[in-house]
Structure 1
Amino acid sequence: MSAGAPLAGLTVVSIEQAISGPLATRHLAELGARVIKVESAGGDSTRSYDENVHGMSSHFVWLNRGKESVSLNLKDDADREVFTALLDRADVFVTNMAPGALGRLGFAPEHLRDTRPRLIVVDISGFGAGGPISHRRAYDLLAQAEGGVCSLTGAPGFPVKPGVPTIDIGTALYTFASISTALYARERTGEGAYVPLAMFDVAAEMTGFALNQVIHTGIQPDPVPMGTPMLAPYGAYPTSDGQTVVLGATSDREWRKFAGEMMGDEAFQNDPRFADNADRIANRAELDAHIAAWSSQRTLAEIQATADRVQLGNARLNNVIELSRHPQLSERGRWQKATVDGVEVPALKPVFAGGDWSVASPDRVPRLGEDTDRIRAEVGDATVRP
């Protein structure tokens, strides 16, 4: 926590698992908030995924820098008192527990503001309240599948879940934005807020372009393995030196740059099969085959130099090992250090670092219950428990 950071002085209490809650609260910590993560004896489920980072899991280290961990049993009266005291002192409470879990313990999120009018509560669920599947637990894969996302990814007949947990991350960012908005509103009104968020709704929102297509045309978009069903050309192409270049044209103007200026192929540019985006989508196979034949005769460097010269977007298809060594990260100072059980490890700086804000650099990743005794003492229960 940094005294000069935008959220310095705010306290966030969370009962969170996996990604959507923890990523949102990590960003709050990076902006200076104190984040107290309440865990059961078993801890956040991501703690047990692997032991890749000096005994901690890759996921947990990614999501939980800069937090305090307190281990409480909310069925125990003394621990319930500690948790109640934490809520009484909190500005924000975030939870993404299973539907009804906190309610059965007497801490229903929708009622926490009854005696805490300034508290901001964000209650993350899989499918929201009131529908036929509201009772179900949800994970990123389940929300993507139920929300139609996987049908837009992969290839026709072979739906694929993206490797990045897009719905978990999207839900985390909506949580972060909702809390920021609620804090701003509280400054004007003095009132907190109860904000329910559903992963399913995030998935539906993210498929908005495809929803519009099916609502107004009745046509289900076919997935494109490396691209989008809504644009062409927009994909990955082989090069003569064994690399893969990624290119796209997002307008007819860019198409003319792509075919006429970058490729130098006016006949291709003016081919009536590719006159506009709809034509290019309809004839995607022929379009991509022609581009691949051109790109396979040139090196990656040659293609990228030409694309840069005509101001056409381009990229190299990298894997994660290559990302970890990418000069665009190292030369811009995007790495910092985190501390895992006393050992320094590399970690990315916050995405919003580098401007006028004083952004905190919380580096410690907490062990399970590492701060329990100190927090008990802080709220008036100094009993040390094994």
Structure 2
Amino acid sequence: MTRPLEGITVVSLEQAVAAPLATRNLADLGARVVKVERTDGGDFARGYDHAVHGTGAHFVWLNRGKESVAVDLKTAEGRSVVRNLVEHADVFVQNLAPGATERLGLGAADLRSARPELVVANLSGFGAGGPMEQRKAYDMLIQAEAGLISITGTPETPVKTGIPTADIASGMYCSQAVLAALLRHGRTGEGATIDVSMLEATAEWMGYALYTQMHTGTQSPRMGLSHSSIAPYDAFPTRDGQMLIGVQNDHGWRTLVTDVLGVPELADAPRFATNVERVRHRAECDACVAEQTALWSTEELDEHLARAGVPAAQLKELDQVVQHPQLAARDRWREIGTEHATVEALLPPATFTDVEAHMGDVPALGQHTRALLVESGMDTSSADEALRNGVAHQSEHR
């Protein structure tokens, strides 16, 4: 069967996380993605670490299924290569510093003046315009500006999330917007210029916390594993570890204390009978639950909670996630290639019943440069000259 984006070509001038995630999503759906990189080291995410057989973990995560062309954009020849590749593309994505593509002659206005049907997606920290347009915008900084750090952590210590949430949010909105633009293009022939701001994507994800602030004037507190509006909702001790339990309604509370923990007298106790009262008496409620869960092993408690339909989970370490029985049972791992070794990668979460996602290899820096130079309009001798004089770089890995 045909992959959803088969026949679509994307050229991306990208680095780090946000834009590479957006274009990897498109590659997984079958688009051809040409990744434009610097000749001197390429996407700097390649060098964040060497965790995956010598390749950076971020890079392996974000760049499967792409072709890499490495050109020097400080040269007219390098910029011409990108313009010529875009000439035959459907989508151009970039997340360079604000104004950088305009200075290179690769801004949306320049590209779409010749091809108004092109879809251009610009991904930046703070969006076009406004007093912070030129500010540096790394994930942690955006988490701080969007208020995410202010509600994450414990009452004593604010923390950032353990994954690059701002990057992921903006990358997902970027690929979503590109898909919408392609859908419209298929109907009308129109192109699009899309602006995706990391700040705005993350602020949108703040959701109920923002609405609570706007309508009550109250800052959502940092609750650790707990929840400001629900109880019991936390990690509770077992004989050999801990169990996360989240009871979201009064029926669930009754089931927990009656059918699992064996203390039915707590079900209708006035201080616990409703969620509002349980939140008001959170410390006492949590202590009553913890007294009972501490009598169980984690495995036993997990089994009984699941059988009773009480929302709960074991707090898994990452090595347990790699071996997660649900991922194994659903056959979610696939092998992909890198320049040094074959590795396993998770299938994309959205599963099509009629066709599997395209899980291509992770490219070495400039792995496809010579072929793409020729595709951009150079003859073979000119392509070889560009490689010799440093305008372009070709990896030895083929």
C-alpha displacement of 1:109: 3.0
Q: Residue 369 in 1 paired to residue 345 in 2?
A: no
Determine the structure 2 residue equivalent to 1:137: 136
Asked whether the equivalents of residues 79 and 104 of structure 2 are also in contact (C-alpha less than 8 Å), the reply is no
Asked whether the equivalents of residues 347 and 357 of structure 2 are also in contact (C-alpha less than 8 Å), the reply is no
Please give the alpha-carbon distance, in whole angstroms, between the structure 2 residues aligned to 1:279 and 1:153. Answer: 24
Asked whether the equivalents of residues 231 and 277 of structure 1 are also in contact (C-alpha less than 8 Å), the reply is yes
C-alpha offsets along residues 160-207 of structure 1, whole Å, 9 cap, x if unaligned?
A: 111011121111111121111111111111101111011101111111
Q: Residue 10 in 1 paired to residue 8 in 2?
A: yes
Determine the structure 2 residue equivalent to 1:245: 243
Please give the alpha-carbon distance, in whole angstroms, between the structure 1 residues aligned to 2:126 and 2:277. Answer: 38
Please give the alpha-carbon distance, in whole angstroms, between the structure 2 residues aligned to 1:118 and 1:236. Answer: 53
Please give the alpha-carbon distance, in whole angstroms, between the structure 1 residues aligned to 2:110 and 2:77. Answer: 21
Matched residue SS, 1:365 = coil
Matches within 5 A, 1:285-364: 285-341=283-339, 343-353=341-351, 355-362=353-360, 364=361
Asked whether the equivalents of residues 6 and 358 of structure 1 are also in contact (C-alpha less than 8 Å), the reply is no
C-alpha displacement of 1:110: 4.8
Bigger drift between 146-155 and 265-274 goes to 265-274
Please give the alpha-carbon distance, in whole angstroms, between the structure 1 residues aligned to 2:340 and 2:287. Answer: 53
Please give the alpha-carbon distance, in whole angstroms, between the structure 2 residues aligned to 1:132 and 1:277. Answer: 44
Determine the structure 2 residue equivalent to 1:198: 197
Asked whether the equivalents of residues 226 and 236 of structure 1 are also in contact (C-alpha less than 8 Å), the reply is yes
Q: Which amino acid aligns with 2:196?
A: L
Determine the structure 2 residue equivalent to 1:56: 55
Asked whether the equivalents of residues 26 and 175 of structure 2 are also in contact (C-alpha less than 8 Å), the reply is yes
Determine the structure 1 residue equivalent to 2:271: 273
C-alpha displacement of 1:135: 1.4
C-alpha offsets along residues 261-282 of structure 1, whole Å, 9 cap, x if unaligned?
A: 3323233222333343333233
Matches within 5 A, 1:133-172: 133-172=132-171
Please give the alpha-carbon distance, in whole angstroms, between the structure 2 residues aligned to 1:146 and 1:82. Answer: 37
Please give the alpha-carbon distance, in whole angstroms, between the structure 1 residues aligned to 2:111 and 2:255. Answer: 57
Asked whether the equivalents of residues 37 and 70 of structure 1 are also in contact (C-alpha less than 8 Å), the reply is yes
Which consecutive unaligned segments of at least 5 residues does structure 1 have?
Answer: none
User: How does the TM-score come out when normalised to structure 2?
Assistant: 0.92
Asked whether the equivalents of residues 99 and 137 of structure 1 are also in contact (C-alpha less than 8 Å), the reply is no
Which consecutive unaligned segments of at least 5 residues does structure 2 have?
Answer: 389-398
Please give the alpha-carbon distance, in whole angstroms, between the structure 2 residues aligned to 1:305 and 1:84. Answer: 59
Asked whether the equivalents of residues 12 and 35 of structure 1 are also in contact (C-alpha less than 8 Å), the reply is yes
Determine the structure 1 residue equivalent to 2:95: 96
Q: Which amino acid aligns with 1:154?
A: G
Question: How many percent of aligned residue pairs carry the same amino acid?
Answer: 43
Determine the structure 1 residue equivalent to 2:78: 79
Determine the structure 2 residue equivalent to 1:223: 222
Asked whether the equivalents of residues 53 and 340 of structure 2 are also in contact (C-alpha less than 8 Å), the reply is no
Q: Which amino acid aligns with 2:92?
A: F
Matched residue SS, 2:244 = strand
Please give the alpha-carbon distance, in whole angstroms, between the structure 2 residues aligned to 1:54 and 1:249. Answer: 43
Please give the alpha-carbon distance, in whole angstroms, between the structure 2 residues aligned to 1:346 and 1:300. Answer: 30
Asked whether the equivalents of residues 243 and 316 of structure 1 are also in contact (C-alpha less than 8 Å), the reply is no
Q: 1:243 to 1:122 in 2, by over 3 A?
A: same
Matched residue SS, 2:271 = helix
Asked whether the equivalents of residues 126 and 143 of structure 1 are also in contact (C-alpha less than 8 Å), the reply is yes
Please give the alpha-carbon distance, in whole angstroms, between the structure 2 residues aligned to 1:142 and 1:100. Answer: 20
Matched residue SS, 2:194 = strand
Determine the structure 2 residue equivalent to 1:23: 21
Please give the alpha-carbon distance, in whole angstroms, between the structure 1 residues aligned to 2:136 and 2:353. Answer: 39
Please give the alpha-carbon distance, in whole angstroms, between the structure 2 residues aligned to 1:185 and 1:277. Answer: 46
**What is the root-mean-square deviation of aligned Cα atoms in Å?**
1.6
C-alpha offsets along residues 86-108 of structure 1, whole Å, 9 cap, x if unaligned?
A: 11111111111111111122222
C-alpha offsets along residues 29-77 of structure 1, whole Å, 9 cap, x if unaligned?
A: 1111100000112311111111121211111011101100101122211
C-alpha offsets along residues 297-356 of structure 1, whole Å, 9 cap, x if unaligned?
A: 111222122212221222110011111111212222111111111521111122223523
Please give the alpha-carbon distance, in whole angstroms, between the structure 2 residues aligned to 1:272 and 1:140. Answer: 45
Please give the alpha-carbon distance, in whole angstroms, between the structure 2 residues aligned to 1:373 and 1:207. Answer: 45
Matched residue SS, 1:121 = strand
Q: Which amino acid aligns with 2:271?
A: R
Matched residue SS, 2:201 = helix
Q: 1:79 to 1:153 in 2, by over 3 A?
A: same
